[in-house]
Amino acid sequence: MDFLNPATWADALKMKAERPDAVPIAGGTDVMVELNFHRRRPPALLDLTRIGELSTWDLDGDTLRLGAGVSYARIMAELGEQLPGLAMAARTVGSPQIRNRGTVGGNLGSASPAGDAHPPLLAAGARVELASVRGTRLVPVDEFFTGPKRSVLAPDELIAAVLVRPAAGPEQFSKIGTRNAMVIAVSSFALALHPDRRAVGTGIGSAAPTPRRAAEAELFAAGQLPWDTLGALDPDVVRRFGELVAAAAAPIDDVRGTAAYRRHALAVMARRTLTWAWRDLCG
Amino acid sequence: MRVTCTVNGVDRTADDVWEGESLLYVLRERLGLPGSKNACEQGECGSCTVYLDGTAVCACLVAAGQAAGRDVRTVEGLAPEGGLDPVQRAFLQAGAVQCGFCTPGLIVSVHDLLAHNPQPTDPEIREALAGNLCRCTGYEKIMDAVRLAAADGAGAA
């Protein structure tokens, strides 16, 4: 095995082009587990932790560019205002030690259906910036995942950043697990209200082969919410929203839960997050 | 490969390191520092918690090469030779040690907590220690130890 440790992003892209079989490693919270348990023996590791620009974020106009190497701990500490849904999800990741190391870039790279960052990125309409020596491309996050632990990332590409508009309205995140810490989601749900364009964003986690949006539920809620009056939510609208979110999932039975439970939980989380977010919006 | 890093203030070098090896393995098996414990090897139990450039991390999830040139501080380096850190003293006084396997990781995590939050509330303590598993104590004596360390001003040290 080779250990590649580029000092610059340009070097990293060059190495990845020359060694497409190299496995990128940042916080190591997924990759090292596979190595420690002898599940994987990649020909090379490509260490991304020495590339300073990967662990920065900045605001350019109405787009926040979140470097792939920014840790969950920093998202919690620094981005609670701009990306509240992602910050809430970050608080539910692992433990303090895991949040100190784990990154959104790594979450995307692993592309687990249960990745905690994915639902809020879906709800916020984020785009993933992929780079290679061939150039850079932006992929909407709802087109990034192609299957369990699979994505559109090409063998010579690295995840550079996530581009996302800072929240224009309330965002919420909910996650079901057996305890509050160190838990892989049984299922999770993120919701974003976009009052500026009277739209609703959603993200379903751990209840389909990939993280996914509930598109029909989004359109339904956008059309039914009382944006003009900011009045009380119609209980029938809330209930129907939950049903549509549950219907958008394609869960399976596994060690963490049954498909039926996941659908039920999604409907509950969808109702709760919509209620919370609407209350946040109406002050 | 060869890995050189600062461990507890001293430049240390390990040779013949396998490229997929963890920092924990380097510390325990190559540098003679078995304080950090090896249990789950997947970041679940926290018994290998160390500081990497001042940040508390699971050493089992840091690739050895990622630690090269970095500053590592283990439980062995919290107090001067022969002495005890106030957090270590509080664990002894409170009886927060039973089998002791989780203790080094907990000591580092509590040290880190009090450095950032010298007077934590009980929920803050529980949240800060959520990544450290103890199967003996039921955590009550550990909570006592953290409160005692905080009362003794461990975080200000």
Contact assignment for B63 to A96 by CB distance below 8 Å: no
| Res. B119 pLDDT band, cuts 50 70 90 | very high
Q: Which residues of B touch A94 (CB under 8 A)?
A: 43, 131
Q: CA–CA separation, A155 vs A44, rounded Å?
A: 13
CATH number of the B3-75 domain: 3.10.20.30
Contact assignment for A45 to B61 by CB distance below 8 Å: no
B55 touches chain A (CB under 8 A): yes
Contact assignment for A35 to B65 by CB distance below 8 Å: no
Domain boundaries, chain B: 3-75, 86-156
Given a cut of 70, is residue B120 above it in pLDDT? yes
Q: Which residues of B touch A28 (CB under 8 A)?
A: 61-63, 66
Interface residues of A toward B, Cβ cutoff 8 Å, are 1-3, 5, 25, 27-29, 31-33, 35-37, 41-42, 44-45, 47, 49, 94-98, 100-101, 180-182
Residue A99: closest C-alpha in chain B: B57
Q: CA–CA separation, A76 vs B128, rounded Å?
A: 14
Q: Which residues of B touch A1 (CB under 8 A)?
A: 18-20
Strand partners, A60: A63
Residue A106's pLDDT is: 98
Nearest residue, CB atoms, A3 vs list B1, B62, B130 = B1
How large is the ipTM?
Answer: 0.97
DSSP B100: -
CATH number of the A171-282 domain: 3.30.390.50
Residue A93's pLDDT is: 97
Q: Which residues of A touch B41 (CB under 8 A)?
A: 33, 36-37
- The Cβ of residue A117 has, within 10 Å, a number of other Cβ atoms equal to 30
| Res. B155 pLDDT band, cuts 50 70 90 | confident
Contact assignment for A95 to B68 by CB distance below 8 Å: no
B146 touches chain A (CB under 8 A): no
Q: Which residues of B touch A181 (CB under 8 A)?
A: 127, 130-131
Residue A36: closest C-alpha in chain B: B41
Q: Which residues of B touch A29 (CB under 8 A)?
A: 43, 61
Which two structure tokens, joined as six digits, stand for A11? 């070097």
Given a cut of 60, is residue B157 above it in pLDDT? no
Query: Which of A29, A34, A55, A95 should we substitute to test contact with B (largest number of B Cβ atoms within 10 Å)?
Result: A95
Given a cut of 80, is residue B24 above it in pLDDT? yes
CATH number of the A1-48 domain: 3.30.43.10
Helical residues (DSSP H) of chain B, grouped into ranges? 23-25, 86-94, 103-116, 122-128, 140-151
Contact assignment for A36 to B60 by CB distance below 8 Å: yes
- In CATH, which superfamily holds the domain spanning B86-156? [2Fe-2S]-binding domain (1.10.150.120)
Q: Which residues of A touch B66 (CB under 8 A)?
A: 25, 28, 47, 49
Residue A180's pLDDT is: 86
Mean pLDDT of the region B63-71: 98
pTM score over 0.95: yes
Domain boundaries, chain A: 1-48, 171-282
| Res. B29 pLDDT band, cuts 50 70 90 | very high
Helical residues (DSSP H) of chain A, grouped into ranges? 9-18, 31-36, 72-78, 84-91, 96-101, 104-110, 118-124, 215-224, 235-248, 259-282
Positions of chain A with pLDDT under 70: none
Residue B81's pLDDT is: 87
Q: CA–CA separation, A26 vs A126, rounded Å?
A: 21
Residue B156's pLDDT is: 67
Task: Characterize B133-151 residue by residue with b for buried, 16 or more Cβ atoms within 10 angstroms of its Cβ, and e for exposed.
Answer: bbeebebebbbbbbbbbbe
